[in-house]
Amino acid sequence: MKVHYYPGCTLKEKAVNLEETTVKAMKILGVDLKEPEGWTCCGAEFPLSEEKISGLAAPARILRQVESEGGDKVTTTCAFCYNVLKRTNYALLNDPLKHKRINAFLKDDIKIDHETKDKSTGFDPYHGDVSVVHLLEFLRDEVGFSKIKAKIKRDLSGLKVAAYYGCRLLRPYSEVLMDKPDDPSIFEEFVESLGAQVVDFPFRQECCGSYISVSEPDVAAEASYRILRSAILGGADIMVLSCPLCYYNLDRRQGLIKDKFLEFSGFPVLYFTQLLAWALGEKISTLGFNDHYFNPRTVLEKVVKSEVAQ
Amino acid sequence: MFEPKIMSFICKWCTYAGADLAGTSRMEYVHNPINVRVMCSSRIDPQHIFYAFKHGADGVFIGGCHPGDCHYVEGNYKTLRRVFLVKKMMRDMGIDPARLRLEWISAAEGSKFVEVMNEFTEQIKNLGPLNFREMASIDEGVSHE
Amino acid sequence: MSGNGPKKKIGVFVCHCGINIAGVVDVEKVAKELSKYDGVDFSVDYVYMCSEPGQKLIEETIKERKLDSVIVAACSPTLHERTFQNVMTRAGLNPYQVEIANIREQDSWVHPDRHEATVKAARIVKSMIEKVRRNQNLEPLAVDITRRALVIGGGISGIQAALDIADHGYEVLLVEKEASIGGHMVQLSETFPTLDCSQCILTPKMVEASRHPKIKILTYHEIESISGFVGNFKVKIKKRPRFVDPDVCTLCGECEKVCPQVVADEFNMGLSFRKAIYMPFPQAIPGTYTLDIESCLGLLPIRCGKCREVCEPNAINYDDQEEIFEEEVGAVVVATGYDLYGLDNLGEFGGEKYEDVINGLEFERILSASGPTGGQVRRPSDGKVPKNIVFVQCCGSRDPENHNPYCSKICCMYTAKHAMLYKHRVPDGNATVFYIDVRTGGKNFDEFFQRTIEEEHVLYVRGKVSKIFKEGDKLIVWGVDTLTGRKVEMEADMVVLAMSMVPSENAEELLKKLKISTDANGFLSEAHPKLRPVESLNAGFFLAGCAHGPKDIPETVAQASAAAAKVGDLFAQEKLYHEPTVVSAEEELCAGCGICVPVCPYGARTLNRERGVVEVNEILCEGCGACAAACPSGAAQQRNQTDEQIFSMVKAILKG
């Protein structure tokens, strides 16, 4: 199985553990990931601002590149990239002004176009047709959760997991459409396909603080603390998520959180692909746990006894 | 002085009652429009409209109930769609579509009836006579129905 | 002569109406001009046509000159058309042979210039002459009426309507899908604003209905289809097998004791259990057990059979079959009631996840003395008495973007009632209500609500709730207080959601089958929102209760009685008379294209595919003429307003 895969810049720098475990896991599942050539940063927050339409040019170009490489679908693991790419498509499909302006930019962007297209065939506008799927959706719909279940090598039945969506995966509902925003289930279904248990985790869609972590770290720390506390109260052993920024706020900032909230003593937070790769048999030392503030290794090894499942 | 001939088709339940109200209230308006009462504006066929133009009308008026108020549920919506089509046809024929006017006038809107009649007549006066037969080069001798 | 065509002898009578017309229009001149018009045999002006001598003048002239048709040029037809039609009848002519030319309201009263008004008057009269020239003699269509009513739905609205119609002396079939009549009202504990015990006021009506000689109650029955038209409906009714004979069952309850199957009790909103063989509630009517085949272990083959073994009177019959039979009725009252919007629609409130987040009907069962907790307020999860209870109004209502746009009307009152009753039973408890508005328009409603605040000290917080979740043992409610502009986070032991009222789920299928018009929300559409609130536009169908829209019990009862009165109106007539100015379908011209069929809002036209022509049910045709305008071949013509007539009127007006 082949699919276009957009990692986004963070995965190549700060979130290397997310990227590497994604690639490893997909290899085991028999999925060939192809990065679109010459891809750039998606823009993160800025393409979605209403004042500057030009911000949409970068994500539109990425999608255009996928299309020109013959892909009709692109998958991504970073929640921010997912949100931006998805909403770029929506903007182009629904707003004629944006469609016109962005395609005017794409037309001028000759460097990529003319490498793959004959000058004589002319410019083909990008309409927003490349389907953007989060890796969770890809795993559910293309690979199949049952297929994953069949390839699980470790017995995770004793592991209680809090699945954290954050905001980018689900909102705004009309544009993102991944799952019901008031009561989603895709992430929980994924966790269950690994053989692990899901806990009731009411803060699973609350914001971690996002970028405010830069200017007002205390605010972000409190927001993140409430999420961690909810997972702990739910009885979770670990939390899984899909966004490097959430990961930063929920794991890397645990030092600050501990200072502010004395009853908090740390909690393992990992990317869902790290858990996936491990469940599929990858060695625990290869999952990039050393990068974490709170190394999940001890908790995982304590709860899940066997190295290789039956 | 050109006095336009205005053919007016108005529905019994709303516009006709509105026209009556204008009378009871002794409001004055131009004498040009003459009314034919129909049960519902949806009785009006494009045929009737073109027949009127053909036989000397410089303007045609259709009056019906406000959307949602039609005595026969949705007749006025049908009228709306038909008028839209007829205007397209008029354009193709070279007749100014402004010569056909559709207006929603309720039984309580006597003054609106007066306003519309005056306005429409004035508008047609400014557009001038239609001279349909000349335009369409219809031979007076041939009878049509 | 009653025929068509230009050979008719027409009489023209131009009224002065005192100076109303004659003061502006030269009536003499008009009469003279018209006497020379084609087909006019007699033309005269007279001072007051509607007066006795005026009418006599017409009558005598008709007889003397053997006129076929008459034009009266006078005031608006809305005033005296009937008057002059009666003159025609007295003179021995068909009433449709007179037409009124409006030269007052639409001429003399609005055009001051004598010349202009006179010219216009002549043209108006000429147009009416052209119309009447081609008028056919028409007789109103008469149909017989079956004086029997069908009431669909056995809740308070259906019961009330049935009682009123039966008291008129007509037979009523009351069809109810469930095992007993009573609807949702019988589930309520106390009703606002009096705090009357709901079952105490309802059961006497239920008993009255069951004993009434004119009412036939058919519970566990469903409507399959209704065909026909007003006064003459044919109804197919399906009897679901009950497996227990209601006439024999003694309610001893032995069967229930031995039944091994236990399922959630719908009457108690799932808060308790019942057996597969059950009685919905003690005062059920009919008073009998019912075997719910869905939860029974099975009868084909018999997997258990214990209930039949212990039934002494032999009321249980495993061979009971489904039956479909037909009945004839003349009117149908649709009283299918409501359901509550599902808790799963508001995932953020955790209604499906958390046992202690419940809806209003569940709370009613908890409050009810005959409910699962014997009337004590206890949490469904652990049976503890909740010390902090939160009520949330407008759950799913007044939310056009995500849920239902309308207001469910009763929630403000029943939430106040719930809060009040809670405080009565848990005096040291705290009750908080999150609201947007508090709507208490009915009689004594606001006084009731004020007591809730002043006497019971229930806290009302103006703001919506965004999320409800559980933390340990407690529920956390996140909301906002818009009056202080602050977010609110509250702990609660129990939360009651005032879920939006929606039309009964069972009824959706049924209403589609009946082709009765509903609005965008699925509620029944009334014929006119202000002036005809209990009739449907589908003739012969009447509406009552929450099937028509959210309403409380006093309004429901009022509407049910009103619907019954309308049924009485219908049945009181000897025959149904219908205006004959309908649109026909000339078979020779009809190509069977079928375009006219969907154009009719009344379903009066059907395409007979075998014969390749359209057939018209003239009783259903209201004579709007929309189909006549749509017909490409001219086969559809409106009686006495044919295309030919319209053309000739237009010509007369424009050519003069």
CB contact under 8 A, B20 and C649: no
CB-based contact, B140 to chain C, within 8 Å: no
Cα separations in angstroms, C496 against B46, B78, C393, C624: 59, 47, 9, 51
The stretch C508-513 carries a mean pLDDT of 83
**What b-and-e string marks burial along B37-52, b requiring 16 or more CB atoms within 10 Å of the CB?**
bbbbbbbbbeebbbbb
Sign of CA dihedral C178, C179, C180, C184: negative
Taken as a whole, chain B contains a residue count of 145
Substitution target from C469, C475, C487, C497 for chain A, most A beta carbons within 10 A: C469
Residue A116 pLDDT class (50, 70, 90 cuts)? low
Rounded to 10 degrees, what is the CA torsion of C319, C320, C324, C328?
140
CB contact under 8 A, B78 and C651: no
User: What is the tens place of the pLDDT at every residue in A180-234?
Assistant: 888 899 999 999 999 999 998 999 999 999 889 999 999 999 999 999 999 999 9
How far, in Å, CA of C548 to CA of C534, rounded?
9
B31: nearest CB among C104, C116, C581: C116
Q: What angle do CA B32, B37, B40 make, to 5 degrees?
A: 125
The pLDDT score that the predictor gives to residue C572 is 95
CB contact under 8 A, C471 and A180: no
Tell me the CA end-to-end span of chain C in Å, nearest whole number.
27
Question: Can you name the residues that pair with C324 across neighbouring β-strands?
Answer: C238
The stretch A146-157 carries a mean pLDDT of 91
CA distance C184 to chain A (A): 29
The pLDDT score that the predictor gives to residue A120 is 46
Q: Which residue of A has its CA nearest to C466?
A: A182
CA distance C652 to chain B (A): 10
The pLDDT score that the predictor gives to residue A127 is 87
Going by DSSP bridges, is the β-strand pair C613-616/C605-608 parallel, antiparallel, or unpaired? antiparallel
How far, in Å, CA of B61 to CA of B19, rounded?
13
Q: Which residue of C has its CA nearest to B69?
A: C528
CA-wise closest residue to C208 among C187, C190, C183, C182? C182
C470: nearest CB among A180, A183, A200: A200
How far, in Å, CA of A89 to CA of C70, rounded?
72
CA distance C590 to chain B (A): 17
CB-based contact, C489 to chain A, within 8 Å: no
**DSSP three-state, residue C603:** coil
Q: What is the ipTM, given to two decimal places?
A: 0.94
Q: Which residues of B touch C654 (CB under 8 A)?
A: 5, 7, 52, 55-57
Rounded to 10 degrees, what is the CA torsion of C296, C299, C301, C307?
80
Least confident of A91-105, C406-420, C510-524: C510-524
Token code pair at residue A197: 């248990």
Q: Which residues of C touch B59 (CB under 8 A)?
A: none
Sign of CA dihedral C443, C449, C452, C454: negative
Residue B138 pLDDT class (50, 70, 90 cuts)? low
CA distance C342 to chain A (A): 14
Question: A: neighbours with 3+ CB pairs under 8 Å?
Answer: C
B20: nearest CB among C106, C599, C626: C106
Collect all residues with Cβ–Cβ distance below 8 Å to C504 and sequence separation of at least 6: C153, C336, C337, C338, C339, C546, C547
Least confident of B77-81, C388-392, C521-525: C521-525
User: What is the tens place of the pLDDT at every residue in C210-219?
Assistant: 999 999 999 9
Q: Which residue of B has its CA nearest to C642?
A: B43
The pLDDT score that the predictor gives to residue C494 is 97
CB-based contact, C7 to chain A, within 8 Å: no
CB-based contact, C565 to chain A, within 8 Å: no
Cα separations in angstroms, C248 against A109, B54, C245, C316: 87, 80, 5, 9
Question: C: neighbours with 3+ CB pairs under 8 Å?
Answer: A, B
pLDDT-above-70 percentage for chain C: 99
CB contact under 8 A, A183 and C347: yes
C647: nearest CB among B27, B74, B145: B145
A touches B (3+ CB pairs < 8 Å)? no
Domains of chain C in start order, with CATH, are 10-138 (3.40.50), 148-239+326-337+504-572 (3.50.50.60), 254-310 (no CATH), 341-501 (3.50.50.60), 582-638 (3.30.70.20)
C-beta separation of C547 from C535 below 8 A? no
Token code pair at residue A73: 């679908």
User: What is the tens place of the pLDDT at every residue in C344-402?
Assistant: 999 999 999 999 999 999 999 999 999 999 999 999 999 999 999 999 999 999 999 89
CB-based contact, B80 to chain C, within 8 Å: no
CA distance C211 to chain A (A): 50
Across the B:C interface, residue pairs with CB atoms under 8 Å apart total 114
- Is the pLDDT score of A113 beyond 70? no
Q: What is the pTM for the complete model shown? A: 0.77
Going by DSSP bridges, is the β-strand pair C465-471/C196-197 parallel, antiparallel, or unpaired? unpaired
- Is the pLDDT score of A118 beyond 90? no
For helices C156-167 and C198-211, what crossing angle results, to 10°? Answer: 40
The pLDDT score that the predictor gives to residue C515 is 72
Q: Considering chain C, what is the average pLDDT of its residues?
A: 94
Which has the higher per-residue pLDDT, C12 or A310? C12
Q: Considering chain B, what is the average pLDDT of its residues?
A: 91
Token code pair at residue C434: 């999150």
CB contact under 8 A, A200 and C347: no
CA distance C643 to chain B (A): 8
Question: B: neighbours with 3+ CB pairs under 8 Å?
Answer: C
The stretch C253-280 carries a mean pLDDT of 96
CB contact under 8 A, C654 and B7: yes
C106: nearest CB among B7, B19, B75: B19
CATH no., domain B6-135:
3.40.50
A interface with C, Cβ–Cβ < 8 A, is 180, 182-183, 200, 202-203, 230, 233
B56: nearest CB among C111, C120, C655: C655
Residue A44 pLDDT class (50, 70, 90 cuts)? confident
Q: Which residues of C touch B23 (CB under 8 A)?
A: 76, 104-106, 109-110
CA distance B92 to chain C (A): 21
CB contact under 8 A, C110 and B44: no
Domains of chain A in start order, with CATH, are 2-133 (1.20.1050.140), 152-303 (3.40.50.11810)
The pLDDT score that the predictor gives to residue A53 is 80
Residue C123 pLDDT class (50, 70, 90 cuts)? very high
CA-wise closest residue to C579 among C619, C637, C626, C615? C619
Residue bearing tokens 């470790």: A154
CB-based contact, C478 to chain A, within 8 Å: no
**DSSP three-state, residue A55:** helix
Q: Which residues of C touch B27 (CB under 8 A)?
A: 110
Collect all residues with Cβ–Cβ distance below 8 Å to C435 and sequence separation of at least 6: C393, C394, C412, C415, C460, C461, C462
Q: Which residues of C touch B106 (CB under 8 A)?
A: none
Q: Is the peptide bond before C286 cis (omega within 30 degrees of 0)?
A: yes
CB-based contact, B139 to chain C, within 8 Å: no
CB contact under 8 A, C472 and A230: no
The stretch C564-569 carries a mean pLDDT of 97
How far, in Å, CA of C162 to CA of C205, rounded?
10
User: What is the tens place of the pLDDT at every residue in C594-624?
Assistant: 999 999 988 899 999 999 999 999 988 989 9
C-beta separation of C149 from C650 below 8 A? no
Domain ranges across chain B: 6-135
Cα separations in angstroms, C644 against B11, C34, C308, C586, C587: 18, 21, 75, 14, 18
- Is the pLDDT score of B70 beyond 60? yes
C-beta separation of C249 from C310 below 8 A? no
CB contact under 8 A, C624 and B82: no
Strand runs labelled E in C413-500: 430-435, 459-462, 465-471, 474-481, 486-492, 494-499
Q: Which residues of C touch A183 (CB under 8 A)?
A: 344, 347-348, 352
CB contact under 8 A, B73 and C104: no
The pLDDT score that the predictor gives to residue A128 is 87
Token code pair at residue B89: 């046809």
C110: nearest CB among B27, B37, B45: B27
CB-based contact, B66 to chain C, within 8 Å: no
CB contact under 8 A, C346 and A182: yes
Which DSSP string do the residues of A64-87 spell out, in sequence order?
HHHHHTT-SEEEE--HHHHHHHHH
CB contact under 8 A, A202 and C472: no
The pLDDT score that the predictor gives to residue A121 is 52
Give the DSSP H or E segment for A134. Answer: strand A131-134
The pLDDT score that the predictor gives to residue B139 is 57
A1, with CB counted inside 10 A (0-12, 13-18, 19+), is exposed
Half-sphere exposure of C551 (CA within 13 A, CB side): 21
